[in-house]
């Protein structure tokens, strides 16, 4: 890739004077990885350790190994009857095998990565919607129930051709094939199918959003995925042979793209941080030692990860190799940003993207100005604008500078619509432009800022939760009259779900009973509310719809009020209110009166310290 040092929008525009197609040497993911491998076939492509105790004794594979295993895997799928329109779903943690299945699956058919933490019924619904023909799953493994889930899911898929068990034995009479046993039977030199992959053919379909009703599956073409890798490689400060750490899951586009196809395209080295990645506490405790050992240049993260790492001492580890961390998926507080940069000595580059855009849409430029709290400048070849839309979601006009509207994107990485057309209503404000569902603004320098969401998703540590996952079972519970789920600020996860419930007259349900019921009914653990709040009346709009902003403000106020009570001894009085803000979306107003002999500066320091990890803006007034 051509080395580019983007500083501002003029650099991006100059880079775009050469069409993207002229910069791309290949147009499908199979050839993309072969292109990166050709730079140095004997270079290490992947390092992997099973536990953090063995981080300095990894299993490694060269680029020659990577391409051979991807090709063998594609040939396994071809032999099982998978063609370009057939779907392979996988339930896998972060393993080298996961990359072989992902990219080999795309060379043979269409891949459907699935979060293995979901409940079996939800996984089965995703597979049914995708039309899964082959299911790949991790074998029985300590502290893992993936195989048990796979066996339950299998019963719900009568058209399934085969199950492939990774790191476990075969039972071919039962249609179960051991990946590690059969892979050696196939050629790693070329595709047995002799397939010529059309860039317009579907490569993958990722599950996104909620898990109620018809699952939302976002298909990506080979061109979408290949273009995304080239766009990110142009913007990323990562060179051939340098190391990137992968701790985000390989069922999510960030893990598979930012720390997958993009480094593979340029011949970089990817270190998989164990099967559980950042969810493994031992990996987090050893994180800085791992950086030191591999001389890692970068890693991709979410605010939750940085919050945890902030509390882990660097010790005597040499982390000077780290140039930057990429942070996305959820807003990052300004104070957390500053503290982590001071703690680690590197830059944080905040960005933004979504599954429907294959991965990324904007970034804060490494060589340019980092505007803390913004999601940065648009990526090269990515068009990004703020639209005012009507009630039906149709385009009315572009916004003025700093005017809040709907964040909309257009580009070679943007998908053409959900697999089920029922989900496509109202998402295209004008031809070729996708409404992301996020609210934001664009400043005079071309930087974008998120201010809220129109689609009401709750984002817990980068994990998208559809409120309907919580609300639908609540409405099935006798005694519930009105229910609404919103996000509540959280210092580690960014936000967590809470449920507001208005009971029917004479109902005697308690919050504890409702919460116990939800734990049984909700198909994903991350979506179980942290709290159930019974309210006399849920606020409504003039036309009778639930007014969720008021509930979010109520949840925000409660959190900030509780946090401020930690310094009761410094205050004679305290008032916390939350209102709408035209620039930031919401604003917390904290009005306090100092206790006798307490300095205002001391109070400000304590408040800043307490609220450092929250992302909702606040104003502090001390009388």
Q: Measured between alpha carbons, how far is 297 from 377 in angstroms, rounded to an integer?
A: 22
Residue 211 has pLDDT above 50, yes or no: no
CA 344 to chain centroid, in Å, comes to 23
- Would the CA dihedral through 424, 32, 411, 404 be positive or negative? positive
CA distance linking residue 43 with residue 240, whole number of Å: 10
Beta bridge partners of 465: 458
pLDDT of amino acid 398:
96
Distances (CA, A) of 412 to 102, 103, 375, 544: 21, 20, 20, 40
Of 418-432, 454-468, 581-595, which gets the smallest average pLDDT?
454-468
> From the CB of residue 18, how many other CB atoms can be counted at a distance below 10 Å?
11
Q: Which domains does the chain have, with CATH numbers?
A: 9-434 (3.40.50.12780), 458-538 (3.30.300.30), 551-622 (3.30.70)
**Which residues face 574 on adjacent strands?**
592
Read off the pLDDT of each residue in 215-220 and give the average, rounded to a whole number. 94
Query: What's the confidence (pLDDT) of residue 167?
Result: 96
Nearest to 68 by CA among 197, 183, 201: 183
- Residue 408 reports pLDDT greater than 70: yes
Q: How many CA atoms lie within 13 A of 493 on its CB side?
A: 18
Helices (H) and strands (E) in the chain, counts: 19, 29
Give residues with Cβ within 8 angstroms of 203, minimum separation 6. Answer: 28, 29, 106, 110, 111, 220, 221, 222, 224, 225
Burial class from Cβ neighbours inside 10 Å (0-12, 13-18, 19+) for residue 19 reads exposed
Task: Please name the residue that has the structure tokens 């034995």.
Answer: 169
Token pair belonging to 259: 């720390």
C-beta of residue 240 within 8 angstroms of C-beta of residue 266? yes
Q: Are strands 298-301 and 324-327 parallel, antiparallel or unpaired?
A: parallel
For the question of whether the overall pTM of this predicted structure is more than 0.85, the answer is no
What per-residue confidence (pLDDT) applies to 27?
98
Q: Tens of pLDDT along 94-121? A: 999 999 999 999 999 999 999 998 889 9
Residue 130 Cα to chain centre, angstroms: 20
* C-alpha span between 443 and 272 (Å, rounded): 37
Going by pLDDT thresholds of 50, 70 and 90, the confidence category of residue 544 is low
Most confidently predicted of 184-198, 298-312, 437-451, 481-495: 184-198
Mean pLDDT of 298-302: 92
Q: What is the pLDDT of residue 331?
A: 67
Spatial CA neighbour of 110 closest among 209, 200, 233: 200
Amino acid 541: pLDDT: 64
In this prediction, what percent of the chain has a pLDDT beyond 70? 97
Distance (Å, whole) CA 30 – CA 17: 27
| Mean pLDDT of the residues in the chain | 92
Greater pLDDT, 548 or 194: 194
For the segment 492-536, what is each residue's pLDDT rounded down to a tens digit? 888 999 999 989 888 889 999 999 999 998 878 888 999 999 998
pLDDT digits (tens, 9 = 90+) for 180-193: 999 999 999 999 99
pLDDT at 1: 59
Rounded to 5 degrees, what angle do the CA atoms 8, 14, 16 make? 105
Q: Which of 60, 55, 30, 23 is nearest to 45 (CA)?
A: 60
Is it the case that residue 268 has pLDDT exceeding 60? yes
Structure tokens at 536: 């006399």
- Nearest Cα neighbor of 376 from 448, 483, 432 is 448
Residue in 72, 70, 67 with CA at minimum distance from that of residue 38: 67
Instruction: Measure the CA–CA gap between 30 and 36, rounded to whole angstroms.
Output: 10
pLDDT at 619 over 50: yes
User: Rounded to whole angstroms, how far apart are CA atoms 616 and 27?
Assistant: 42
Length of the chain: 623
CA distance 98 to 164: 12
Instruction: Decide if pLDDT at 82 tops 90.
Output: yes
Q: Is the pLDDT of residue 589 over 60?
A: yes
Is residue 305 within 8 Å of residue 278, measured between CB atoms? yes
pLDDT at 212 > cutoff 60: no
Residues 548, 353: Cα–Cα separation, whole Å: 24
Distance CA 209, CA 423 (A): 11
């Amino acid at each position: 890739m051509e080395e580019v040092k983007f500083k501002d929008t003029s650099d991006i525009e100059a880079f775009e004077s050469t069409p993207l197609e002229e910069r791309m040497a290949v147009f499908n993911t199979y050839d993309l990885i072969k292109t990166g491998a050709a730079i140095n076939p004997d270079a290490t492509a992947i390092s992997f350790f099973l536990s953090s105790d063995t981080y300095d004794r990894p299993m490694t594979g060269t680029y020659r190994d990577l391409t051979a295993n991807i090709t063998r895997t594609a040939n396994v799928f071809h032999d099982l009857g998978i063609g370009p329109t057939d779907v392979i779903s996988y339930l896998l943690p972060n393993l080298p095998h996961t990359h072989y299945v992902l990219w080999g699956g795309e060379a043979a058919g269409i891949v459907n990565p699935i979060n293995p933490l979901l409940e079996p019924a939800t996984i089965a619904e995703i597979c049914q919607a995708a039309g899964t023909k082959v299911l790949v799953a991790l074998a029985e493994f300590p502290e893992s129930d993936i195989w048990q889930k796979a066996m339950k899911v299998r019963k719900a898929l009568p058209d399934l051709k085969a199950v492939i068990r990774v790191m476990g034995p075969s039972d071919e009479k039962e249609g179960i094939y051991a990946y590690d046993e059969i892979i050696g039977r196939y050629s790693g030199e070329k595709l047995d199918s002799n397939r010529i992959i059309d860039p317009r053919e579907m490569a993958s379909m990722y599950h996104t959003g909620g898990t109620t009703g018809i699952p939302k599956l976002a298909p990506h073409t080979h061109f979408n995925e290949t273009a995304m890798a080239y766009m990110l490689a142009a913007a990323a400060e990562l060179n051939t042979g340098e190391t990137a750490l992968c701790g985000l899951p390989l069922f999510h586009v960030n893990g598979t793209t930012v720390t997958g196809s993009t480094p593979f395209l340029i011949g970089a080295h990817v270190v998989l941080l164990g099967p559980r990645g950042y969810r493994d506490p031992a990996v987090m405790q050893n994180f800085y030692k791992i950086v030191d050992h591999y001389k890692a240049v970068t890693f991709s993260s979410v605010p939750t990860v940085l919050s945890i790492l902030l509390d882990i001492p660097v010790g005597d580890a040499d982390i000077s190799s780290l140039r930057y961390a990429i942070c996305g998926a959820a807003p990052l507080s300004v104070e957390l940003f500053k503290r982590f940069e001071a703690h680690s000595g590197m830059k944080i580059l905040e960005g933004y993207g979504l599954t429907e855009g294959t991965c990324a849409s904007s970034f804060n430029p490494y060589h340019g100005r980092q505007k803390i709290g913004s999601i940065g400048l648009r990526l090269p070849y990515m068009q990004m604008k703020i639209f005012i839309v009507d009630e039906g979601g149709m385009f009315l006009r572009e916004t003025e500078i700093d005017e809040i509207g709907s964040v909309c994107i257009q580009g070679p990485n943007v998908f053409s619509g959900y697999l089920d057309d029922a989900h496509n209503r109202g998402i295209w404000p004008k031809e070729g432009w996708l409404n992301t569902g996020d609210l934001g603004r664009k400043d005079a320098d071309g930087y974008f800022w998120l201010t809220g969401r129109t689609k009401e998703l709750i984002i817990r540590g980068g994990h998208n939760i559809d409120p309907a996952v919580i609300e639908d079972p609540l409405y099935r519970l006798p005694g519930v009259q009105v229910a609404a789920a919103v996000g509540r600020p959280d210092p580690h996860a960014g936000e967590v779900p809470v449920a507001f419930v208005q009971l029917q007259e004479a109902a005697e349900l308690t919050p504890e009973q409702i919460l116990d019921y939800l734990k049984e009914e909700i198909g994903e653990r991350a979506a179980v509310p942290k709290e159930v709040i019974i309210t006399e009346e849920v606020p409504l709009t003039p036309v009778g719809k639930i007014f969720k902003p008021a509930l979010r403000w109520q949840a925000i106020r409660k959190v900030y009020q509780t946090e401020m009570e930690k310094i009761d001894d410094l205050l004679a009085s305290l008032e916390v209110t939350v209102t709408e803000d035209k620039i930031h979306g919401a604003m917390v107003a904290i009005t306090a009166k100092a206790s006798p002999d307490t300095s205002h500066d001391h109070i400000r320091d304590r408040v800043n310290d307490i609220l450092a990890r929250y992302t909702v803006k606040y104003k502090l007034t001390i009388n």
